[in-house]
Structure 1
Amino acid sequence: MKVLEMRGEDGLRLTFKGATDSRVTLERNLEPFLQALEAYAGEWMPDVVNGKRQRRYSRPSFWKALEERRDGNSTALGLYRTEWPALDMRLWLWFPPRSPELDIRLKVRPLSFFAEAERCRQFVEMVRSWVSHYPVTHAAAHSEDDAELAGEPRFGREMQTSIRDGFDKIYEVSWLNVFGPKLVEAVGRERMLSTPAHRVEELPNGSVLLVLWPTAAHFASDEAREAQARAHVHLRPDLDFDTVLRTLRERSATLAPVEPRFHPDVAPLLSHVVDSVAFHERQRKIAEFNAYQPPEPDEWLPASSALPTDVDDPVGARAHYGDLAEHLVALLHSKVPSVFDTSPESLTDVDFHFWQEEFPRVFEREHIDAHAVPAIGAYLGEVLVRHLGGQWIPRRKLEETQVLVGRRVWLPFVRASRYMRSCQSLLDFSLTQLYRVAERHRS
């Protein structure tokens, strides 16, 4: 069974930590959780349960997974889907002597799935049911990307402080919120229940359920942001409405979709980089790359100005370049399988790998210059030879070695040296770009 990967779009994220009853069996403890999940999940109901191995979801497979993962005073499992929408749901249970607790982390993608009010209502009813059986201090569901921009769960605090204090005051108001009795009393029950929002409900255990807007997917609309700001300032009178609303609008602008318009010579590489960036930062990165113009490659000479070979054994020299290129294959083959292809596409994969690993920063300059640069230059030259009909013109000095392609000779080792100067140089002097330019000028 291949579960859907959680990548690409924003999603709805729920964080939930509720107390459980240590006096009853595990089955009785979790029966309300399962009943509500099965009653309200609908189209995002998990169909895979993962303990020590994956199984089709069923009550027996659920209990089997928890039994397999039992380790002292805790157990855990994962719940997933094989069809759209994607689900990543993790469940942890803690037992005495630790405080008995049910910890749920749930993500459903894409967030657009929750553009329908009825789906959102069903989700709220599920959480309401869970809270009724597993009292919480605080639970929330919101856009994953927007929650990251808000700084959840630290909200600007040091890690140890956030772990110690938890959600001890109203740092943020999410699309769906459950405030436990302690938070309700800190704010004031009357004030909490008079919050301007789509739904405010006092639960029998003293908690308050608050839903800002009918649909989770529309959290970034200006109307929803105004509702979010009004609710936040109502619960935190020390905050200024205009300041809160301005911050929320800035977050909406940061998350607004930006159409990629990358420089065509480096578009494949920049697309890889964007895909690796955290979801909540992608639109900003796309806008940055839309404005990015890499320097035009100048590691070339007119064919009429090519330096003649000055080696005694040109055939042996060309074989040596092949050996150097193989060094790069040996270095990267496990992490960049396409390096075996010695192709234009593999150049982009190599570019991205070095960028992702921050290679020029992490490794010692002495080793980069002595080993990486010659291997990279030779590999780039081999791609020019194999795919553009290039011809090596060997020279005693690697930096003078050329590859003749059409009416130009290219200096792959010079390019490799510039490429490895810094992490930014990996983009400014990418192998991908040089190949694209050489391809345009090969005739």
Structure 2
Amino acid sequence: MKKLSVHDLMPQDSLRLSFDGTIDPRAELESELGPFFQALEENADGWMPDVVEGKRRRKYSRAAVWKALEEERRERGTTIGLYRTSWPALDMTLRLWFPPLPSELSISVEVKPLSFFAEEAHCRRFVDMVRAWASLYPVSHALAHSLADDQLAGAPDFGRDEETSRRDGFDKIYEVFWLNVFGRKLVETVGRERMLSTPAHRVEELPNGSVLLVTWPTVADFASAEARRAQARAYAHLRPDLDPDTVMRTLSERSTTLAFVEPRFHPDVAPLLSRVVDDVAIHERQRKIAEFNAYQPPEPEEWRPSDSALPPDVADSERALQHYSHLAEHLVALLHTKVPSVFAETPESLTDVDYQFWREQFPRVFEREKIDAHAVPAIGAYLGAVLVRNLGGQWIPRKRLEEAQVLVGNRVWLPFVRAHRYMRSCQSLLDYSLAHLYRVAERHRGCWTGS
């Protein structure tokens, strides 16, 4: 039974719920959590979990939940995951904390994609579920909102250091999200009358004194001008010390930051940049696409005209070629587990290598001495091997590695020089990517004028 991870889908925004409620430590677990799962089963319209994961992965059922909670139980708590096997993806974590810690039910829910909640019916049932939970398990504060916008807002620290954030929690209105539950203490701090008179799509006082507030009927269009105006009205009402125009301007700027940008990357490095973009945080994605749209990698300089090539200066050319092959095998040995394509020595494998080194932040993480002594020779030899295998290149061996050349068309390329520049910094992995040099060499292959 394979669960569908939120990371398996293309990078898209998600609906994120954060909920920390109190539970009765004296109650039997099944009786205390039965209403929780009843509300989930009744309202998780189209995104109901079908996988429970503790020590084992099981098909969802109440019995599977109790078994998983028991298996994972420790002295002070227990944690399980709930997932789906089909679209939309779900990543749901349920944690219970026991005395001497405060008895708490902590829930984190991420449903992807956010567009699933474009339908008002889905949103209404989600709100009804949270309302039921907040009525059963009192919270100091709970929220559900776009994951990307939540990150842009600075949640959960909101500019505070981590220690202060943990100590104080959501002790005042730092932000108003699409769905909010304000606990009794926070309601009293703001003023119950003011809280209940908030201009919003739904404002409801719960039996335990908490207040449920929903700014807009649907969450998928949270960044629209109308939804932002509704969000700004509610926020400015609850925080009369804030300037309404400034609040609206800040929210509009966040919408602009998240607005879709069509990728138009330089074709030589587009496969690499697309993967880099997919790896950044969702709230930074559109900004990074715009940055890469303007990015032009430096034209490779690691070449000379073929009529200026240095002649071989080694006593045994065959032995030199075997040495280059041995060095290239070092790279294969280093990366083959994470980059299986490295065995193939293809243009595509160069992109895979570029991406892996960037993802690992290799030039920053590893010692410079070891990079220069081991990584650079292996990378240069591997790049040369790809030029030879795929472009009909020919090694021109030299005693000094940085002088070794690969003849392709009417140019000779210096793969070890490229590898040295490539490994200078994390930015150099993009500026001097192996894939970019290969594509330029490929274009110039047809310019060969020799016999």
Please report the TM-score for the alignment, with normalisation by the length of structure 2. 0.96
Q: Which residue number corresponds to residue 318 of structure 1?
A: 321
Q: Which residue number corresponds to residue 267 of structure 1?
A: 270
| Equivalences for residues 28-427 of structure 1 within 5 A | 28-427=31-430
Structure-2 separation of matches of 1:25 and 1:401: 74
SS at match of 2:266: coil
Structure-1 separation of matches of 2:4 and 2:244: 40
Q: CA deviation at 1:442?
A: 1.3
| Residue among 430, 433, 442 paired with 2:436 | 433
Structure-1 separation of matches of 2:90 and 2:427: 36
Q: Structure 2: which 5+ runs fail to align?
A: 447-451
SS at match of 1:151: coil
Q: CA deviation at 1:96?
A: 2.2
Q: CA deviation at 1:372?
A: 1.6
SS at match of 2:139: coil
Q: CA deviation at 1:365?
A: 2.4
Structure-1 separation of matches of 2:207 and 2:321: 81
Output one character per residue of 1:44-83: Cα deviation in whole Å (capped at 9) or x when no partner: 0000000101110011111111111111131111100001
The one-letter amino acid of 1:412's match is P
Q: CA deviation at 1:43?
A: 0.6
Structure-2 separation of matches of 1:411 and 1:54: 52
Q: Report which stretch shifted further, 215-224 or 298-307.
A: 298-307
The one-letter amino acid of 2:5's match is E
Structure-1 separation of matches of 2:57 and 2:350: 37
Q: Which residue number corresponds to residue 6 of structure 2?
A: 6
Please report the TM-score for the alignment, with normalisation by the length of structure 1. 0.98
SS at match of 1:295: coil
Output one character per residue of 1:15-69: Cα deviation in whole Å (capped at 9) or x when no partner: 0011111232111100110110000102100000001011100111111111111
Structure-2 separation of matches of 1:370 and 1:21: 61
Q: CA deviation at 1:342?
A: 1.8
The one-letter amino acid of 1:179's match is F
Structure-1 separation of matches of 2:112 and 2:190: 33
The one-letter amino acid of 1:389's match is G
SS at match of 1:216: coil
Structure-1 separation of matches of 2:17 and 2:220: 14
Q: Structure 1: which 5+ runs fail to align?
A: none
Structure-1 separation of matches of 2:170 and 2:152: 17
Alignment root-mean-square deviation, CA: 1.1
Structure-2 separation of matches of 1:96 and 1:419: 54
Q: CA deviation at 1:301?
A: 1.8
The one-letter amino acid of 1:217's match is A
Output one character per residue of 1:245-264: Cα deviation in whole Å (capped at 9) or x when no partner: 11111111111111110000
Q: CA deviation at 1:362?
A: 2.5
Q: CA deviation at 1:268?
A: 1.0
SS at match of 2:445: coil
Structure-2 separation of matches of 1:399 and 1:21: 70
Structure-2 separation of matches of 1:421 and 1:147: 35
Output one character per residue of 1:100-136: Cα deviation in whole Å (capped at 9) or x when no partner: 1111000101000001111100000001111111011
The one-letter amino acid of 1:180's match is G
Structure-1 separation of matches of 2:425 and 2:142: 44
SS at match of 2:32: helix
Structure-1 separation of matches of 2:380 and 2:25: 65
Q: Which residue number corresponds to residue 449 of structure 2?
A: none
The one-letter amino acid of 2:4's match is L
The aligned length equals 443
The one-letter amino acid of 2:6's match is M
Structure-2 separation of matches of 1:370 and 1:97: 54
Structure-1 separation of matches of 2:173 and 2:292: 36
